Amino acid sequence: MSAALRIHDLTLAYDRHPVVHHLSGEIEQGALLAVCGPNGGGKSTLLKGIVGALQPIGGKVERLACDARAIAYLPQAADVDRSFPIDVFDMVAMGHWRSIGWFGGLSKTQRARVFDAIASVGLTGFEDRPIGTLSGGQMQRVLFARLLLQDAPIILLDEPFNAIDQRTVSELLELVARWRSEKRTVIVVLHDLDLVRRVFPQTLLLAREKIAWGPTSEVLRPENLLSARRMVEAFDREAHECERAA
């Protein structure tokens, strides 16, 4: 299969302090890839680099399936402003923004697609509910419905199943399986290794640097997980010593 993304010696940083170091690899079109690793290992940072929200200080991301604007990106729930005064229908309808712009009106067909997306995530009847009144699981369903409307060839999900009930997780995983059947490229940051082993055929184990990348059964070996933890601890010690020296 052809590649959706190629990553060439990528280094990403905040305030010139590298978080992802010299990462290289290729992600095929239609891949279902989990990105795992310890806290502070650069997983969320990598997604921001792929979508173009964070520019590299070294290397590059080659986007072959689409440009950065066409990538669908779901950040962590904590990054979503639940206080914004918007209802479920309008929140989901934002998935149409690439075709209508931020201030364009919806056609009859587009409105029907919004209702269909809401129904697909089991929220029929919630269209007029303010998003601030939703539970965590309901809000995540809304965000998945918005992703459905984006119709993107590459989908990035950052910890999409945190703090939601198991039923919601199972139903949202059905959407992930649907995207895979449609040959979309889906990249998901996850901490739940049991879920990764059960659902995801490919895994990148990241601890600032690549520890392993390939078939999940080979990547999530105990020795690789131990190496990942030690790698992040070593980076943390080095950063602490640099702060003390300064």
Is 176 a domain residue?
Answer: no
**Adjacent-strand bridge partners of 60:** 8
Which residue range(s) make up the domain with 217?
A: 1-71+153-170+183-246
Does one domain contain both 146 and 37? no
pTM of the model: 0.91
Query: Is 108 within 8 Å of 69 (Cβ atoms)?
Result: no
Residue 246 lies in a domain: yes
Are 212 and 191 members of one domain?
Answer: yes
The predicted-structure confidence for 3-51, as pLDDT tens digits, reads as follows: 999 999 999 999 888 899 999 999 999 999 999 999 999 999 999 999 9
Are 3 and 62 in a shared domain?
yes
Based on the fold, state whether residues 160 and 142 are members of the same structural domain: no
Q: Are residues 166 and 57 in the same domain?
A: yes
The closest alpha carbon to 151, from 116, 102, 191, 196, belongs to 116
Provide the CATH number for the domain around residue 50.
Answer: 3.40.50.300
- Whether residue 234 sits in one domain with residue 194: yes
210 in a structural domain: yes
Q: Is 31 in the same domain as 132?
A: no
Q: Are residues 166 and 218 in the same domain?
A: yes
197 domain-assigned: yes
Is 175 domain-assigned? Answer: no
How far, in Å, CA of 75 to CA of 122, rounded? 21
pLDDT range class, residue 79, cuts 50, 70, 90: confident
Q: Is the dihedral of CA 61, 65, 70, 73 positive or negative?
A: negative
Is 221 within the bounds of a domain? Answer: yes
Mean predicted lDDT score pLDDT of the chain: 91
In this prediction, residue 246 carries a pLDDT of 35
Is residue 101, in this structure, part of any structural domain at all?
Answer: yes
Looking at the 3D structure of the chain, how many domains does it have? 2
- For residue 1, the model assigns a pLDDT of 65
Taking only the tens place, the pLDDT of each residue in 87-137 is 999 999 999 877 776 566 788 999 999 999 999 999 999 999 999 999 999
Examine the domain organization and report whether 3 and 109 are in the same domain. no
Q: Collect all residues with Cβ–Cβ distance below 8 Å to 33 and sequence separation of at least 6.
A: 27, 185, 186, 187, 188, 200, 202, 203, 204
Say whether both 56 and 160 belong to one domain: yes
Task: Please check whether residues 99 and 16 belong to one and the same domain.
Answer: no
In a domain, residue 178? The reply is no
Residue 243 confidence class, pLDDT cut points 50, 70, 90: very low
- Whether residue 145 is found in the same domain as residue 52: no
